[in-house]
Amino acid sequence: MPRYKLTIEYDGAPFFGWQVQDTLPSVQGALEAAVKAMTGADLRVHGAGRTDAGVHARGQVAHVDVEKQFPPGRFRDGLNAHLRPHPIAVLEAEIVPDSFEARFSAVKRHYRYRVVNTRANLALDVGHAWRVPRKLDADAMHAAAQRLLGKHDFTTFRDTECQAKSPEKTLDQLDVMRDGREIIIVTSARSFLHSQVRSMVGSLVWVGEGRWTADDLSAALAARNRSACGIVAPPEGLYLMKVDY
């Protein structure tokens, strides 16, 4: 039974997250329906991470086991044909060893968050970025972000419904860059807690607005208390960019 590794991009706006839901549309559900349409079997598509409702992906990774072997290009194209008109595209399909697990074989995940720093309403970016009208100091945000690098207890930046066994994570990268009116936050780690990226971004925006200093961010981290967190950024600005194996 061949195992296929899928690299997927999607617009998360129409979906209630990655994970299959009983009555609500999900990315995983749409993919599994496409697999069934192509193979005739009810098969589980295993993802590298469960993105929340409204979160997008440029490089989500999944795997699925099928009974019949298809040439990888044909499998990719067949899935894409059955995925229409969903805003989901299988970018690559490849046959991998049975030992490959989309979730557990991953060694690093890369996310990007888009903030559009403008007084004007969004037009082309609506649903795909967070509009923040107040002027932000990206340099101050970047300097403060470095306080979060390394291994920490990230309870403060953890959703109350997070099911991870431990709040300790090692953050390898958290960079803030301005490009015109857009501010990009790039972060990488082996894994993240539920809502960790959005919570960190929201707190960094408070730094950019001057409401917090870098010391305030450090104090929030040290508090290990969800109530110490700043605002949580909305999901529409968040993108899963790549998963390393």
Give me the phi and psi of 100, to 5 degrees please.
-75, 130
Tokens 């953890």 -> residue: 158
**What is the distance between the alpha carbons of residues 116 and 103, in angstroms, rounded to a whole number?**
31
Bridge-based pairing of strands 130-131 and 108-116 is parallel
Selection from 116, 242, 124 nearest residue 185 by Cα: 116
CA distances to 15, 83, 89, 147 from 70, rounded to whole Å, are 28, 17, 18, 48
| Residues known to be catalytic | 52
Q: How many CB atoms lie within 10 A of CB 203?
A: 27
Residue 152, token pair as written in the block: 């920490």
Burial level of 97, CB count in 10 A (0-12/13-18/19+)? Answer: exposed
Bridge-based pairing of strands 56-65 and 108-116 is unpaired
39 in Cβ contact with 70 (< 8 Å): no
Residue 35, token pair as written in the block: 């697999």
Q: Is 111 labelled as part of a ligand binding site?
A: yes
**What is the distance between the alpha carbons of residues 191 and 5, in angstroms, rounded to a whole number?**
19
Residue 205, token pair as written in the block: 């925006």
Binding site members: 111
In the annotated binding site for substrate, the residues are: 111
